[in-house]
Chain A
């Protein structure tokens, strides 16, 4: 049987199986909406940390549900100053607040998805968690951060939130902030591996605000510290001083982002959310299991800043003690003083599950068919199995010993492909594993590998990347000039024409 025929059959069969996977787990009715933050469900939902003594202890159910629900106001686009329509800023200040989410008005699936999109775009922070009004109204911000814009000059990663007449705030930390991609032709792909240059933008904000060393260290500690990690790399970064820390932020390329709990030393590639409904694990380290829509709802709540309140052993990222956390006094830290309602989480989940890829301009050809055969011959299909082009398993990183009990609890492919273990061994979100990524949508994504170290697919097959004198084309740590990008060496010995064919095939996925 030809590989192409086989792939068609396997894709059809696989798709049929998928029809029975998550679709039926979505609540159909109002009354079915689950209470997602409960002790029992949270207990086994996340994988343990690579050092299990520092596994996540989330906030208690009573605390979580005592937080006020988020009020969702109408938002407005943010323009580069050269593109802002005349009188727009003044007009914004004349607008009244409009509350735009009301779950009782959602009758149809379409209503829920539409509301979910609105929430996906909605910033949960207006305190300036990343950048503030003065930054985005300054042209230098765009030059310094290399921020992608639409042809209309809109920066689609942030929004103006109007909370009342004259109350116009820059909104940060929407899902869309990281998961929106501005393509070279100016089109936008929502849910894709985003290309918001967030870490460069943050560095600009800290510099332009003349933030003190103590402030820079403090916020960086909250975002990334994991003092129990071997060698405490983040502790060393903090000790290296303000300039070094800012350099580390600036080193993170578009397409990667130092999200809280991850790292700017080992920044994760921004995940592509298109197709997320079919993935069994969330985060590059597979931290969150994704067994049903409730897990996705929990993940959104956790990822949208609730994890700042986690304890890892006795360590809390924002310096809380358990006594302080539970003493009833409010905590004013971005994203932690309110929460999504369960209805809001369900709406976002429905929207994310509804995401579909844009039409792929790379059509199958004789050339790509040759690449498909190479894909099968090289054994790529074992991990990147059609139709999802992932086997949905976790692979251990070098240096992580798989505990016996994990074999029965998780879906494991027990061999390391030898990529950089830093993220999964040295961060709060690290589990010791990397999930096998899906190859769907490679044509609109990049940079590649979990650490975004390679800008193009061609770089993946370049044997030079294995040498210590290699200059990574994607993420390169701030304090090195060269660095080998090791691991995942499949296909590296193919001939030039075979590599070209393989890449042609990969770009059709």
Chain B
């Protein structure tokens, strides 16, 4: 009986607080190409958050993004990025991020350990983020870097950087 109660205690807040929501601001990313910074976005994405700053162990953040909505300002490049050598969206239509553990780092500042899946590669990454209350809303901002080659996105290149900087902002 105790176990069942504990289960409900854990699961109920999640059910009541976490809804799938559409990302308002596109996910932004940037990387270097021939010394020039290329800015890109992924506009279609959604997330689900259970957040209680006082009980970080119970917090949960998940999200998925649709790489088919990538925009780097050059249409043909975007088309190429959907292909087999990059995101291969026919086979892997979603990028997913799932929190495993969140810890405080300072005031309004946190670090989450997430499983990030791009294509068929799942990799644990650390994502630093902030949570700031603005009016009625909590604003989450995350910025992190990843190596695209770790996820089989493209190949090693003389001109294109391996490192991609990703910026996510959401409100709850």
Contact = CB atoms under 8 A, between A and B. Distances in A.
Interface residues of A, number: 28
Contact of B158 (A1, A378, A385, A417): A385
Interface in B57-77: 72, 74, 76-77
Interface stretch (B33-41, B48-56, B115-123, B140-148): B33-41
Nearest to A381: B34
B84 interface: yes
A370 B159 CA distance: 18
B84 A379 contact: no
A377 B83 CA distance: 22
A373 B34 CA distance: 9
Contacts of B76: 415, 417-418, 489-490
B74 A379 contact: yes
Contacts of B85: 407, 412-414
Nearest to A489: B76
Interface string A393-416: 000000000000001000011110
A23 interface: no
Interface of B: 33-36, 38, 72, 74, 76-77, 79-80, 83-85, 157-160
A461 to B, nearest CB: 15
Interface string A169-205: 0000000000000000000000000000000000000
B33 A382 contact: yes
Contacts of A378: 74
Contact of B33 (A7, A381, A386, A407): A381
A379 B39 CA distance: 12
A376 B33 contact: yes
A6 B160 contact: no
Given A10-B159, A378-B74, A414 B80 contact: yes
A10 B79 CA distance: 26
A6 B76 CA distance: 24
Contacts of B83: 414-415
B77 A382 contact: yes
Contact of A385 (B36, B80, B84, B159): B159
Contacts of A10: 34, 158-159
A14 interface: yes
A355 interface: no
A376 B34 contact: yes
Nearest to B82: A415
Given A385-B159, A407-B84, A3 B36 contact: yes
Contacts of B84: 407, 414
B36 A373 contact: yes
Nearest to B78: A415
A366 interface: no
A489 B85 CA distance: 22
A365 B156 CA distance: 32
A66 interface: no
Contacts of A381: 33-34, 159
B35 A6 contact: yes
B74 A490 contact: yes
B80 A3 contact: no
Contact of A376 (B35, B74, B80, B157): B35
B68 to A, nearest CB: 14
A2 interface: yes
Contacts of B157: 385
B160 A382 contact: yes
Contacts of A418: 76
Given A6-B35, A376-B33, A376-B34, A415 B79 contact: yes
A2 B79 CA distance: 28
A217 B34 CA distance: 51
Contacts of A417: 76
Contact of A13 (B35, B72, B74, B158): B158
A5 interface: yes
Contact of A379 (B77, B79, B158): B77
A290 B55 CA distance: 62
Nearest to A417: B76
Contact of B35 (A5, A412, A490): A5
Most chain A beta carbons < 10 A, residue from B34, B35, B83, B157: B34
Q: Which 10 A-B pairs have the closest CB atoms?
A: A6-B35, A415-B80, A376-B34, A381-B34, A376-B36, A1-B35, A414-B83, A381-B159, A379-B74, A3-B35
A485 to B, nearest CB: 16
13 contacts: A1-B35, A7-B34, A13-B158, A373-B36, A376-B36, A379-B74, A379-B77, A381-B34, A382-B33, A407-B85, A413-B80, A414-B83, A415-B83
A415 B36 CA distance: 22
A356 to B, nearest CB: 22
A379 B80 CA distance: 12
Given A382-B159, A385-B157, A418-B76, 20 more contacts: A2-B35, A3-B34, A3-B35, A7-B34, A10-B159, A13-B158, A373-B36, A376-B35, A376-B36, A377-B36, A381-B33, A381-B159, A385-B158, A385-B159, A407-B85, A413-B80, A415-B80, A415-B83, A490-B74, A490-B76
